[in-house]
Chains A and B, each alone.
Chain A
Amino acid sequence: MAKFGKEFAKGIIISNPVFVLALGLCPALAISNSIDNALGMTLAVLIVLLGANVIISLIRRFVPDITRIPIFIVIIATLVTVVNLIFHARFPDLYESLGIYLPLVVVNCIILGRAEAFASKNPIINSIADALGITTGFMTALLMISFLRQMLGTGSMEVFGIHFFDLPVLKDHPIVMFILPPGAFLIIGLLMALFRRTGVLK
């Protein structure tokens, strides 16, 4: 159980996927312009990463080294498509809100990265802990980035239609650049610099 906790915790700070491993930056940049999007993407990553880590950990003894990458990719792509179809058929509301994120997860290198670096070498329980930890780390990073981008780029804070606050000047004159791609690069860069300067990350 101690091991489970350790594998879970490392994903949040020591191997934070966005700020430390710099994995999955593509969806992190593309989708982090609002809190809604950040949470949707997190849910999609959770489902697929958990599934991929479990399957790959289960078959790790049979996977030959030389063809492991194509095998992982086929498994991940299949998983995403199956989940996508089942959601579309059975959970239309969830599909509606996750519709754009799920297909994006295929190209999210966090999934392949964890399959390669962790699940293919570790037992199933630890792989589950790893998936949960990495997802939590991903969510933490996305929430920080999207909070700043949404606030600066739209001047108000709204999550799932619930209105939280408006900023005085920014509400009427939002810095639009922050919800566009350049804003994502700036915010991620500034956050990384801040975390390193303050010693949160090494």
Chain B
Amino acid sequence: MQAKDFWKKAYPVIILTAVVAISVTALTYTDRFTRGEIEAQMEAETEAMLSEMFPEMSRYEFANDIYTIYSDGERLGYAFIATGKGYGGNIDILVGLENKDTIKDITIISNEETPGLGTRITEPSFTNQFKGLNIGKVALREEGGEVDAITGSTISSAAVIDAVRKAAQEKVSLIEEGQDG
């Protein structure tokens, strides 16, 4: 009688444990089988984005979160990913630098902004403003910079601008440090 009681109580625990064990196994194996492909996928994506920004790129090096872009041994510029806090979530931006002072171009990699409003930060009419811009001038026009915010999407625009400026300043000092040492 007592043994029967025990099994009655233990049964739900055993089943739940079994389900969790199966789930963990399934997740581990899926992760193992897909990891390589996912990494290759992401690398191909990065390379495609970089070569779109630097069409003459022949290869790139990645160190300290900075991509250094080369064309036949000649250095074309740098690129890195900046993250801004937008209206709906994080905004990831690929920023290309021509040299230590000038921005080559920016590409919005991902954003969770309001469709139709904040998502307009991905449009060329906004991102083209950054082309050839001095890092010191990356700020809203009202704040002494040379970038116009999108009407109705001031928060998203400012998030991109601030993220690009901050990341650019930080990475440039890292690049300079690397060259001195």
What is A's interface to B at a CB cutoff of 8 Å?
A: 33-34, 37, 62-67, 70-71, 74-75, 77-78, 81-82, 85-86, 88-90, 92, 100, 150, 153-154, 174, 176, 179-180
Contact = CB atoms under 8 A, between A and B. Distances in A.
B34 A85 contact: yes
Interface string B130-142: 0000000000000
Given A34-B115, A78-B27, 17 more contacts: A64-B15, A67-B16, A70-B16, A74-B19, A78-B26, A85-B30, A85-B34, A85-B38, A86-B34, A88-B34, A88-B38, A88-B41, A89-B34, A92-B41, A92-B45, A100-B112, A153-B116
B20 interface: yes
B124 to A, nearest CB: 15
B152 interface: yes
11 contacts: A33-B115, A34-B115, A34-B116, A37-B115, A65-B12, A67-B13, A74-B19, A77-B23, A78-B27, A82-B27, A174-B116
B37 A89 contact: yes
Interface in B14-39: 15-16, 19-20, 23, 26-27, 30-31, 33-34, 37-38
B115 A78 contact: no
Contacts of A74: 16, 19-20, 23
Interface of B: 11-13, 15-16, 19-20, 23, 26-27, 30-31, 33-34, 37-38, 41, 45, 112, 114-117, 152
A179 B27 contact: no
Nearest to A68: B12
A176 B15 contact: no
Given A63-B15, A179-B117, A89 B26 contact: no
Contacts of B13: 67
Contacts of A89: 33-34, 37-38, 41
B19 A75 contact: yes
B15 A179 contact: no
Contacts of A90: 34, 37
Contacts of A37: 115
Interface of A is mostly: helix
A62 B100 CA distance: 65
A167 to B, nearest CB: 14
B36 to A, nearest CB: 8
Contacts of A88: 34, 38, 41
Given A85-B34, A88-B38, A153-B116, A67 B27 contact: no
A64 B18 CA distance: 12
Contacts of B16: 67, 70-71, 74
Contacts of B19: 71, 74-75
B118 to A, nearest CB: 10
Contacts of B116: 33-34, 150, 153-154, 174, 179
Nearest to A158: B116
Closest 10 CB pairs of A and B: A89-B34, A64-B12, A89-B37, A78-B23, A67-B12, A67-B16, A154-B116, A85-B34, A66-B12, A82-B30
